[in-house]
Structures are given as structure tokens and as C-alpha cells.
């Protein structure tokens, strides 16, 4: 029964590869240099001194691909660019992508897109944090449009139905959504985001009853005191694996220790609760494989290839002329 269910889930996440993306797209195109090896080297260096870069790159990739497709539009500067949208003000990792881009431009100018660097760097960071090694397809081009008005990302309090519809608009199904939320295994939020859930859930004057009592007390007492004057960081996963990509995030949800309103609802909703329970099971390697597949699938959302777009010389501005 279990094996049949696993097969069904894998089938539901079957990858439909983009026709013009390829494995090893940059082979023989960078004057003898291995493009993916160069990217990996820089990610390893950053990860050695800053493990939060895993969460940073996962969020950067998600926020890029979910808005106007995986075209590195989130990297563009400008008074009304995607960077200026409120959900993107806490996104980080831009400097690492620019550093990698500068190194590759020195080796083979005008060859490697910023969009592909985001995808490859995120893969490498995920693997360094305990994720499963997986191949990526490359050949993306960079977009030239970046507008804050186009940013439509899932809110922390979005309903499950709304989120499923939003993911489906990107070609991702409800199971993809649940698996991609596994990126919260290395994620954080802030007390301001969950204040109502802790102290005035749906106007009740108390915490969300779906949150385990002692856990709610702990967060209220030690992490997000009601009268605090600071907006403290709240980790979305168990403290024992803050920087590790694993399935402990789902175990937290099943145990009533989800932090974000959406996470808690996802664990209860009939459309997604079964998937949360499945992923929380004692088979973390199953989650790692599915997470890798989901990242590949997300990396194919509305990509531009061939002669579309451009290969930017620097990632934060379009090429002139």
C-alpha cells in the first residue's frame, strides 16, 4: 500500500522538461571552464561562513520564478523593480549571485545567464545543507522586465485554496506546493507576522488552538513576548536542525508546532494534510528526492530560452544598446 502510494506521488510530480533547456548546456562554451563547478565553488565558500545562505537562495529562487518566471528579474535594480516590493525587502543572496556572475564573465563573457546562476547556486546550497544531489537543466536567458506591481506571492496567512490556485497558475500542483513548502526547514519569519496567531487568533483574544499549548507558551514567553519592542526572528523548524534540509519541518506541523498561519492550515486542510503527514513519516530520503524534483519543476516555470531576452553582463541591470 505504502509503496503504491509513493509511486502515485512520484507520478504526480513527473517532470515535463522544457524543450530548450538541457543538461550540461554550458559544456564546451566557457573556454574550457566548467560553469557549474565554478558556481559550486563560490557557494561552498559562502556556505562555510554563512549557513543562512541556503534559506536565502531558496527564497531568492522562489521569489524569482514565481513572478514573471525564472528569468532573474528579481535581481534588477530600479525605483519600481521587483526588489522594491514589500515581500522582497528581506530577500538576500543578491551579492553572491553578482560575485559568481563576475567570475564567469571573466572566464567567458556573455555566455552564462543570471537566471541559470540562481538555479545552480540554489541546487548547490540545498545539497550542502543535506539535500539530495540532483541534476539541473540550463539554457535560460535573462528577462528585461522587473516591476513591483507584478509581484504576487503567497502571503503567510493565505488560505490553502488560494495558494493551490496560485501554484496551479504556475503549472505546479497541490503536492508540489506542499513539497516546496519544505524549504521552510531552513526558513525564518518575524514575530510581527504571527502576533495575531499568538495573542488574538480570529479575534478570540488568545492563541490559535491548533498550536500545541506548551509550544504556544514557549513562543509567547521566550521568542515573541506580547509587549516586546523588537521584532524578533522566529525559526520555522526545530532548533536542532535549523540549517539542515530534512523533513523535520513536517514533523513540527503534525505535532502542532507550525509557526506560520498557512503552515498550520496546510497541515489541517483535507487537500494537503495527507501530504504533510506522509512527508512527516520516517522516510526523510523520500522527502529529499521529492524536494529535488520540485525544485527542478519550479525552475522550469515560464523560462525564456533561445534568442529571447538577453544574457546580462551584470545581473542588476539590463544590457544597454
Number of domains in the chain: 2
Q: What is the pLDDT along the chain (321 residues), one digit of tens a residue?
A: 344 344 444 444 444 455 589 999 999 999 999 999 999 999 999 999 999 999 999 999 999 999 989 999 999 999 999 999 999 999 999 999 999 999 999 999 999 999 999 999 999 999 999 999 999 999 999 999 999 999 999 988 899 999 999 999 999 999 999 999 999 999 999 999 999 999 999 999 999 999 999 999 999 999 999 999 999 999 999 888 999 999 999 999 999 999 999 999 999 999 999 999 999 996 666 899 999 999 999 999 999 999 999 999 999 999 986
Q: Does the annotation list 64 as a binding residue?
A: yes
pLDDT value of position 155:
86
- Domain contains 304: no
For the entire predicted model, the pTM comes to 0.92
- Domain contains 316: no
Q: Does the annotation list 113 as a binding residue?
A: no
Annotated catalytic residue: which of 18, 63, 68, 190?
63
Host domain of residue 174: 160-299
Q: Does the annotation list 184 as a binding residue?
A: yes
Q: Does the annotation list 281 as a binding residue?
A: no
pLDDT value of position 20:
83
- Is 47 noted as a catalytic residue in this protein? no
Q: Does the annotation list 82 as a binding residue?
A: yes
Identify whether residues 25 and 78 lie together within a single domain.
yes
pLDDT value of position 283:
62
- Domain contains 3: no
- Domain contains 236: yes
CA 241 to chain centre: 17
Identify whether residues 85 and 144 lie together within a single domain.
yes
Amino acid at each position: 500500500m505504502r509503496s503504491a502510494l509513493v509511486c502515485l506521488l512520484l507520478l504526480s510530480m513527473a517532470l515535463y522538461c522544457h524543450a530548450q533547456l538541457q543538461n550540461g548546456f554550458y559544456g564546451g562554451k566557457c573556454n574550457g571552464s566548467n560553469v557549474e563547478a565554478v558556481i559550486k565553488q563560490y557557494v561552498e565558500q559562502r556556505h562555510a561562513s554563512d549557513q543562512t545562505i541556503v534559506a536565502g537562495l531558496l527564497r531568492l529562487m522562489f521569489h524569482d520564478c514565481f513572478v514573471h518566471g525564472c528569468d532573474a528579474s528579481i535581481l534588477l535594480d530600479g525605483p519600481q523593480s521587483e526588489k522594491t516590493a514589500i515581500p522582497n525587502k528581506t530577500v538576500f543572496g543578491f551579492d553572491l549571485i553578482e560575485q559568481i556572475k563576475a567570475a564567469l564573465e571573466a572566464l567567458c563573457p556573455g555566455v552564462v545567464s543570471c537566471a541559470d546562476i540562481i538555479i545552480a547556486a540554489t541546487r548547490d546550497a540545498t545539497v550542502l545543507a543535506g539535500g539530495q544531489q540532483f541534476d539541473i537543466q540550463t539554457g535560460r536567458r535573462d528577462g528585461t522586465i522587473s516591476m513591483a506591481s507584478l509581484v504576487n506571492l503567497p502571503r503567510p496567512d493565505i488560505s490553502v485554496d488560494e495558494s493551490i490556485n496560485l501554484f496551479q497558475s504556475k503549472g505546479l500542483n497541490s503536492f508540489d506546493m506542499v513539497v516546496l513548502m519544505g524549504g521552510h526547514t531552513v526558513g525564518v519569519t518575524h514575530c510581527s507576522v504571527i502576533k495575531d496567531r499568538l495573542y488574538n487568533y480570529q479575534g478570540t483574544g488568545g492563541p490559535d488552538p491548533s498550536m500545541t499549548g506548551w509550544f504556544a507558551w514557549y513562543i509567547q514567553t521566550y521568542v515573541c513576548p506580547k509587549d516586546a519592542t523588537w521584532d524578533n526572528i522566529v525559526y520555522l523548524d526545530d532548533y536542532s536542525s535549523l540549517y539542515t534540509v530534512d523533513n523535520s519541518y513536517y514533523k513540527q506541523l503534525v505535532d502542532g508546532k507550525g509557526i506560520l498561519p498557512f503552515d498550520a492550515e496546510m497541515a489541517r486542510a483535507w487537500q494537503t494534510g495527507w501530504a504533510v503527514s506522509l512527508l512527516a513519516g520516517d522516510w526523510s530520503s523520500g522527502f529529499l528526492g521529492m524536494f529535488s524534483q520540485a525544485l527542478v519543476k519550479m525552475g522550469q516555470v515560464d523560462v525564456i530560452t533561445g534568442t529571447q531576452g538577453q544574457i546580462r553582463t551584470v545581473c542588476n541591470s539590463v544590457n544597454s544598446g
